[in-house]
Structure 1
Amino acid sequence: MSILNALFLSRRPAAAFVVVGMFWGCFAAYVPHIKATLEVSDAMFGTLLLGSATGLVSSMWLAPIMDRWLGARALQVGVAFLAAAWLVPGLMSTPLAFAASLALVGLASGLLDVIMNARVSMLETTHETPLMNANHAMFSVAYGAAALVVAFTREAGLPPAPVFAGFAVLSCLIVSFVWMEVTDVAPDADSVNARYPLWPIVICGAVVLVAFMSEATVEAWSALHLERTLHGGAAEGALGPVMLGLTMAIGRFSGQAVAARWSEITVVIVAAIVSACGAVIAAFAPVPLVAYLGFGILGLGVSVIGPMGLALVGQLVAPHLRTEAIGRTAVIGFSGFFFAPVLMGVVSDAFGLRMAFAGVALLLLSAVPLALLIAKLPKWHKKGAGKAPTP
């Protein structure tokens, strides 16, 4: 299936991915400005970013309830809530208020994230075709485009608040478009008698954790690395998230095509090795141009790891457990937003950002043995477990 056909089939959740990507791309490019306004150390800023992680993880447990309650309107409510939540962080000038505002953002972003991923998984089952990478690619396109816009707004001296407000207005324009019917899935006899899929959730969640921790470190710290370690300007710093977003989009669109030819396990292994190489290049880059190359290679590789982890858990569990399984896999994955900011801040304070990004390379390589474990787990079939995903 072509990328355009995949996006047409999943156009409504894809629009939600665009909304989430716009806001996080805007935030990533404004990180140096926000950190300077708050006047905090690397370690403290990393701790403040835990605010978003708190909201994200909390939302994962609430999302299945919200999904059942709102049904076809869940995506609409999620988009509107996220647009409203992002109006707050740009107005905060004290560390505690900023952390609290990020908790609200994390809650809204997490709710929308679980629901839109569950909708894509539902469409994958309905149409029997991979769609996850194409949708995550739309997040990356929006992320890179928003960061590019911020490169200009920062050079013009605009503070974050009006820029976040502009993206909120754009988001509200698509609310009516994301109304989407939901297929109710009742458990059959095989589903009722089957064991709860604990290990698929845990192991796939660990793969998503590796991907999201790596993405979070680059999103939050690439601009600082370029501006402080490599002495780049504001526009050069903002281009770090731009490079990540654009190459992740290319990687995910390519992953959509590759997923039709290679197994998910093979894709995860190759992607982990490629992205680790990119992290090493970015860590030891002598000038911003080489760092862009490293972040670009990292983005190409890491782009497909998270979507593949979510797609795999959707294949490994019974249909009526899909939203819950994806939500709990995302809980594990998004817990990376707990660890990544703090670890990067602590390592950066102790050893510098170069060593912190070198640590990201080691983290990415840990996805290889995890993928091999997933290859041993059986996919779900109506009449019992079938063969495992092939490596």
Structure 2
Amino acid sequence: MSVFSALSVSRKPAAAFVVVGLFWGCFAAHVPVIKGQMGANDATFGTLLLGSATGLVSAMWLAPRVDRMMGDRSMQAGIVALSLAWLLPGHITVPLLFAAAMALVGLASGLLDVIMNARVSELEARHDRPLMNANHAMFSVAYAVAALMVGFTREAGLPPTVVFAGFSAFCLLLVPFIRMDVTIVAAEGGYAGRYPIWPIMLCGTVVLIAFMSEATVEAWSALHVERTLGGGAAEGALGPAMLGLTMAVGRFSGQIVSERFAELTVVIVAALIAALGAVIAALAPVPIVAYLGFGILGLGVSVIGPIGLALVGNLVAPHLRTEAISRTAVIGFSGFFFAPMLMGLVSEAYGLRIAFGGVAGLLICAVPLALIVARQPRQIAAPGQ
């Protein structure tokens, strides 16, 4: 299945991925500004970002309920909530209020993340084709575009609040076009299977490693370029932009690769490539070498998370798919919030070079996990499920 065909089949959830990517790309490129206006050091700022995890944990329990309650309007509600939540963090200078605002962002982002991934998994089951990589590639494209745009707005002196408001207005315009029918799958008669805790935990940990690695570059690459390597604002914004662009390339390529090679083989090779990129970024003497490292990391890590989410959809019974993806997604997406805190603590103690070296070690841990996942039995969906 071609990339364009995959995006055509899943165009509505793909638009939701674009929305999430725009906001997080905007935030990543604004990190030096937002951190500076609060006067926070690395450890404090990383800890404040942990506020997002509070909202994310709530999303794990709320997403399946919201999805059942809102039905075909679930993604629309998620986009509205996320667009409004991002209006808060950009102008807050009080640390505790910033943490509270990020908790709202985490809740809204977690809800939309779970729902849009569940919609993609439903489409994968319905069409019997992989679609995750193409959709996650749209997140990466939007992320990179937003980060590049913020590089220009920062050079022009626009405050974060104005830029976030512009993105919010654009995303709200997409809402009328995102309504999507929901596939409801009932348990098969006589189903007596156990709750799929191991597939959720294993796939969730694989996704967690991928998203923690991605989050460290998103949140700290601009600071690494500007502070460690002496780059300017536009050069700093190019760090997360490079990650987003290469992740988009990796995920579009992954859409093709995942149709030709075993998914878990792709995960193992990708983890090793991403670890190499993290080492290059850690050792970089100048910004251009750091961009190379971010790019290689992006190419490798890009396919790990989407494949992990797709795998859990195949490993569980069809009627448990949305709930299993919800739990797996929240385990994985927590990496976006715990990673910046851990990165901040390591950076404060040892510097950003050591912190990025730690990312390489984390990525290598995905290899044995992938081998364990390969031993898990898969559930086969009935036709039409």
Q: CA deviation at 1:382?
A: 5.5
Q: CA deviation at 1:61?
A: 1.3
Distance 1:371 1:377 in 2: 10
TM-score by length of 1: 0.96
Name the residue aligned to 1:272. Answer: 271
8 Å CA contact retained: 2:110, 2:330? no
Alignment of 1:265-344 (within 5 A): 265-344=264-343
Using the TM superposition, name which of 231-240 and 325-334 deviates more.
Answer: 325-334
8 Å CA contact retained: 1:57, 1:334? no
Name the residue aligned to 1:203. Answer: 202
Name the amino acid aligned to 2:82: L
Where 2:5 maps in the other structure, the secondary structure is: helix
Are positions 1:43 and 2:74 aligned together? no
Alignment of 1:108-123 (within 5 A): 108-123=108-123
Distance 2:58 2:218 in 1: 21
Q: Deviations over 1:263-318 (max 9, x none)?
A: 11011001000000000000000000000000000000001100010000000001
Are positions 1:358 and 2:320 aligned together? no
Name the residue aligned to 2:19. Answer: 19
Distance 2:363 2:168 in 1: 33
Where 2:355 maps in the other structure, the secondary structure is: helix
Q: Where in structure 1 are there 5+ consecutive unaligned residues?
A: 384-391
Are positions 1:227 and 2:226 aligned together? yes
Q: CA deviation at 1:338?
A: 4.3
Name the residue aligned to 2:211. Answer: 212
Q: CA deviation at 1:262?
A: 0.6
Distance 2:338 2:144 in 1: 24
Distance 1:224 1:302 in 2: 21
Where 1:189 maps in the other structure, the secondary structure is: coil
Distance 1:349 1:158 in 2: 29
Distance 1:279 1:236 in 2: 18
8 Å CA contact retained: 1:7, 1:14? yes
Q: CA deviation at 1:54?
A: 1.4
Q: CA deviation at 1:189?
A: 2.5
Q: CA deviation at 1:156?
A: 0.6
Distance 2:287 2:70 in 1: 46
Q: Deviations over 1:189-241 (max 9, x none)?
A: 36x21111111000000101101111111110000000000000000000001
Using the TM superposition, name which of 193-202 and 16-25 deviates more.
Answer: 193-202
Q: CA deviation at 1:342?
A: 2.0
Are positions 1:130 and 2:157 aligned together? no
Q: What's the RMSD between the two structures over aligned residues?
A: 0.9
8 Å CA contact retained: 1:43, 1:346? yes
Where 2:376 maps in the other structure, the secondary structure is: coil
Q: Deviations over 1:1-43 (max 9, x none)?
A: 0000000000000000000000000000000011110101100
Name the amino acid aligned to 2:343: M
Distance 1:183 1:351 in 2: 49
Distance 1:132 1:6 in 2: 9
Distance 2:106 2:342 in 1: 19
Name the amino acid aligned to 1:58: S
Where 1:40 maps in the other structure, the secondary structure is: coil
Aligned positions, number: 382
Q: CA deviation at 1:345?
A: 1.0
Where 1:173 maps in the other structure, the secondary structure is: helix
Name the residue aligned to 1:245. Answer: 244
Distance 2:336 2:2 in 1: 33
Q: Deviations over 1:359-386 (max 9, x none)?
A: 0000000000000000000110369xxx
Name the residue aligned to 1:178. Answer: 178
- For the structure 1 residues 338 and 141, does the alpha-carbon distance in structure 2 shift closer, same or farther, using more than 3 Å as the test? closer
8 Å CA contact retained: 1:54, 1:338? no
8 Å CA contact retained: 2:318, 2:381? no
8 Å CA contact retained: 2:82, 2:108? yes
Name the amino acid aligned to 1:101: A
Name the residue aligned to 1:5. Answer: 5
Q: CA deviation at 1:337?
A: 3.4
Distance 2:231 2:364 in 1: 29
Distance 1:32 1:286 in 2: 20
Distance 1:168 1:337 in 2: 21
Q: Where in structure 2 are there 5+ consecutive unaligned residues?
A: none
Runs of 4+ in 1 over 6 A off after TM superposition: none
Alignment of 1:363-374 (within 5 A): 363-374=362-373
Q: Percent identity?
A: 71
Distance 2:335 2:151 in 1: 27
Name the residue aligned to 2:94. Answer: 94
8 Å CA contact retained: 1:268, 1:308? yes
TM-score by length of 2: 0.98
8 Å CA contact retained: 1:78, 1:112? yes
Q: Deviations over 1:101-129 (max 9, x none)?
A: 10001100000000000000000000000
Using the TM superposition, name which of 336-345 and 129-138 deviates more.
Answer: 336-345
Distance 1:320 1:3 in 2: 28
Name the residue aligned to 2:73. Answer: 73
